[in-house]
Amino acid sequence: MPLLTIIIPVYNEEKTIGKVIERVKNARLPDGFERELIIINDGSKDGTAEALKSFEGTHQVIHQQNTGKGGATRRGFHMAKGDFIIVQDADLEQDPNDFANLLQPLLRGEVDVVFGSRFMGKYIPKKLIMNIHYLMNRLYTVVCNILSGYHTTDMWTGYKMYSRHALDAFLPHLTSDGVAFEPEIQILLSKLNFKIVDVPISYNPRWYAEGKKMNLRQAFKPMWKMFGFALRRIPPVKKA
């Protein structure tokens, strides 16, 4: 049976992590699919560790020192056994019921990686700060597309569905611990000659009062790193 690995990096999400895990466990998948959950508690300082205790007997729950989302996700990647792999944020912004739609282009053999685009759907920023986030996202996506040669609409999306062969190819070259791992992945995929496609997903943004962590200061840091990623020399994967 095909296996989908869902990696959930979590940092200070005691209020939402239990609900997220339950949603992932109950999300619809194509017929015959099994799922593997890997939860990485990335040095949380709130009650996240306590909230995860009830899941430790049924899922892989790893507690580690804080390494950033990229570092936590990379650890999950190395542990994943699935034929397909996706990262699930530990807030409630994304809907795991989108997994089935994200899998379809991969199951048809059309592409190697699927990007779940928040901006191909009905999402419209309704507050000034979220409009700024949206414009920053668009800027980074345009720059990353220029550097990678892709035409994705949402480079920062947390929902990227990877085939096993694509993950195995780029993982040895993935180095980022922080938020820069998202553009690094896109640029690595381009250097390895993998095909990607965007699929619309649901998106329910939360505000800072609700625990949103990504801020504008963080958003400026990865720009110069993208150019460094683009200058790296990575041997392309030879297709069979």
The CATH number given to whatever domain includes residue 210 is 3.90.550.10
- Confidence band for 63, pLDDT divided at 50, 70 and 90: very high
Count of C-beta atoms within a 10 Å radius of residue 108: 8
Contact 194, 112 (CB under 8 A): yes
- Strand ordering across the sheet containing 160-163: 60-64, 34-42, 3-10, 84-87, 160-163, 113-117, 196-200
Average pLDDT over residues 82-91: 97
**Residue 26 included in any domain:** yes
Burial class (CB in 10 A: 0-12, 13-18, 19+), 195: middle
Per the domain annotation, does 236 fall within a domain? no
Query: b vs e for 109-128, b when ≥16 Cβ sit within 10 Å of the residue's Cβ?
Result: eebbbbbbbbbeeebeeeee
Query: What pLDDT band is residue 219 in, cutting at 50, 70 and 90?
Result: low
pLDDT (tens digit per residue) in 141-153? 999 999 999 999 9
232: pLDDT strictly greater than 60: yes
Q: Residue 239 pLDDT more than 80? A: no
Count of beta carbons in the 10 Å neighbourhood of residue 229: 24
Domain assignment present for residue 198? The answer is yes
Please check the confidence at residue 5 and state whether its pLDDT lies above 90: yes
Residue whose structure tokens are 């800027």: 139
Specify whether the CB–CB gap between 57 and 78 falls below 8 A: no
Q: pLDDT band at residue 134, thresholds of 50, 70 and 90?
A: confident
Q: Give the model's pLDDT for residue 210.
A: 47
The answer to whether residue 240 is domain-embedded is no
Pairing of strands 113-117, 160-163: antiparallel
25 within domain boundaries = yes
192 assigned to some structural domain? yes
The domain tally of the chain equals 1
Q: Residue 87 forms beta bridges with which residues? A: 7
Residue predicted with more confidence, 125 or 140:
140
* Residue 154 counted as domain residue: yes
- Judge whether 239 lies within some domain: no
The overall average pLDDT reported for the chain is: 91
Q: Would you state the pLDDT for residue 208?
A: 47
Are 123 and 234 a contacting pair, CB within 8 Å? Answer: no
DSSP result, 90-113:
SSSSS-GGGHHHHHHHHHTTS-SE
Range(s) of the domain holding residue 206? 3-231
What is the value of pTM for the model shown? 0.91
